Amino acid sequence: MSAPVDDVVNASRQQQYVSDVASYREDFRRYLRDLDWAEEWRNSSFDNTEDELAYHAVVLSRVYEAGWNRYGWPELAGGYGGTEIHRAVYFEELAAAMLPVPEQHWTLEVLGPAVIKYAPELASQYLPNYLRGAEWWGQCFSEPESGSDLAGLRSRAVDDGAGGFILNGQKIWTSQGPTATRFLALVRTGTPESRHRGLSTFLVDADSPGITVRPIALASGRRELAEVFFDDVRVPRERLLGEVDGGWGVVMHLMQYERGMYGYASLTTALTELSWLRAEMAEHGSSSADRRRFAQLYVAVLAAQARAATTVRALAEGRAVGPNSSVDKLLCAKAERDINDLIMDARREWLIAGAGADGRELDAIRAKWWYTRAATIMGGSAEVQRGIIADHLLGLPKEKR
């Protein structure tokens, strides 16, 4: 029996989009332009993280059903194929349409590629649900006494001799942790002296016995982050990514995407924020100094995006990025912070006094300003990134301690 005509047409179109990014861009742009619920999406604002994630999960399910966010992801992960270029175009077109990126994409862009590379069977099992917004994960790397020094982690996993591991320890600053379905946990399996050579990575279900998740209230009042406690949590061996004591390789692969793809997507969001700010400044007036800052910021974001595009192309070609991604992280974090500082300065009276403002919109903009205070700290501080650039790219003399 021959396949239904619709299936043949859809399969042909999918192949066309995979091989021709320009066609994918053009038709995705048309889809967003004609979307009858685009205004609802565009104007959605929330005064808490839980409602925002729930709404964005609905957005993802709709976009997934239409197929648009499946390009750039392999078939085993629920995608249609293609490369990181497709995902970059996806973020570009959302920005051009002034549509907010669903929050789940931020963690997916960081964690998804590592699971695909080091545990394809887990990717096949769980990533399709991630793409459709049915679940999302938290990245359990940082610890209270380690900061950016992942080689100094103390959380441990011990082989239980029965085909699994027992995890103990504490993680902190886990993004989307309060509502995450699973955690990608980096823990020590070697001796304390083994540093980065004795780490392993596990995918752990958030509802496993022995896990306690405590939301962390930010300065904005939102519960975006969490601390996660592991108390004799048993994890099956098949939840290990890569090899035992091979977690550092997983981290290095992941970091390319955290600073590369994540950074590129953040810069497209920055352009959306600048477009919104330009309209606000035109409507409510602005000083010449603020207009000058706006122009300088716009150029800085475009320059950073051009730099990050080099990283995206390298990832799409399967080339390792290495320490070059630290440049992307620095430029992206600075742009994110500077834009929100300008929003605060240009619309200070409105943001502080809130006269005549929609409550949820105002709360969301204030929350974003508070969140960007950590932009040059989270994911590796600016000082750490400068050290990597100095040591590995510029070959400068080692810092005296």
CATH number of the domain enclosing 192: 2.40.110.10
Structural domain includes residue 401: no
- In angstroms, the Cα distances linking 363 to 51, 173, 238, 368 are 13, 22, 43, 9
Query: How far, in Å, are 9, 31, 186, 200, 244 from residue 239 at the CA level?
Result: 38, 38, 12, 11, 11
Between CA 91 and CA 393, with CA 256 as vertex, the angle to 5 degrees is 120
Residue 69, in any domain of the structure: yes
Let me know how long the chain is. Answer: 401
Last residue of one domain, picked from the residues 74, 101, 128 = 101
Task: Quickly list H helices, 20-119.
Answer: 21-34, 38-42, 49-66, 84-96, 104-118
pLDDT of res. 3: 43
Residue 95's CB: how many other CB atoms inside 10 A?
Answer: 21
* Lowest mean pLDDT, pick from 139-148, 177-186, 214-223: 139-148
d(CA 17, CA 93): 15
pLDDT at 355 over 70: no
Task: Say if 131 falls within a structural domain.
Answer: no
Same-domain status, 231 and 335: no
- Rounded Cα distance between 150 and 148, Å, is 6
CA distances from 221 to 101, 366, 378, 379 (A): 22, 10, 18, 21
Q: How far apart are CA 139 and CA 171, in angstroms?
A: 9
**Whether residues 272 and 182 fall in one domain:** no
* Two tokens, residue 84: 């990181």
236 & 212 share domain: yes
- Specify if 125 maps to a domain: no
User: What tokens does 325 get?
Assistant: 């991604």
| HSE-CB of 195 using CA atoms within 13 angstroms | 1
Q: Do 14 and 86 lie in a common domain?
A: yes
Q: Which two tokens stand for residue 261?
A: 């793809």
234 and 336 within one domain? no
Of 97-111, 138-152, 270-284, the one with minimum mean pLDDT is 138-152
Of the candidates 301, 290, 365, 363, the residue with the CA atom closest to the CA atom of residue 333: 301
Same domain assignment for residues 211 and 277? no
How high is the mean pLDDT of the chain? 91
Q: Is the pLDDT assigned to residue 1 strictly greater than 70? A: no
Q: What is the pLDDT of residue 5?
A: 43
User: CA-CA distance, 49 to 135, in Å (whole number)?
Assistant: 15
Note whether 159 and 94 are same-domain residues.
no
**Same domain flag for 350 and 270:** yes
Catalytic residues: 258
Contacts of 217 (CB under 8 A, 6+ apart): 223
Q: Structurally, how many domains does the chain consist of?
A: 3
Inform me whether the pLDDT recorded for 8 exceeds 60.
Answer: no
Range of the domain at 192: 138-246
108 in a structural domain:
no
Residues 240 and 147 occupy one common structural domain: yes
Share of the chain above pLDDT 90, in %: 72
Considering 246, 268, 298, which residue would you say is the last residue of a domain?
Answer: 246
Average pLDDT of the residues in 348-368: 81
Task: For residue 312, give both structure tokens.
Answer: 């995206």
Nearest-10 Cα torsion for 321, 326, 332, 336: 150
Q: Which of 222, 246, 270 is the last residue of a domain?
A: 246
Mark whether 209 and 242 lie in a shared domain. yes
CATH number for the domain including 318? 1.20.140.10
| Position 270 in a domain | yes
Amino acid 147: pLDDT: 67
Considering the domain architecture, whether residues 270 and 204 belong to the same structural domain is answered as: no
**Same domain for 229 and 276:** no
Most confident of 81-85, 281-285, 371-375: 81-85
Mean per-residue pLDDT, 51-73: 97
Residue 126 belongs to some domain of the structure: no
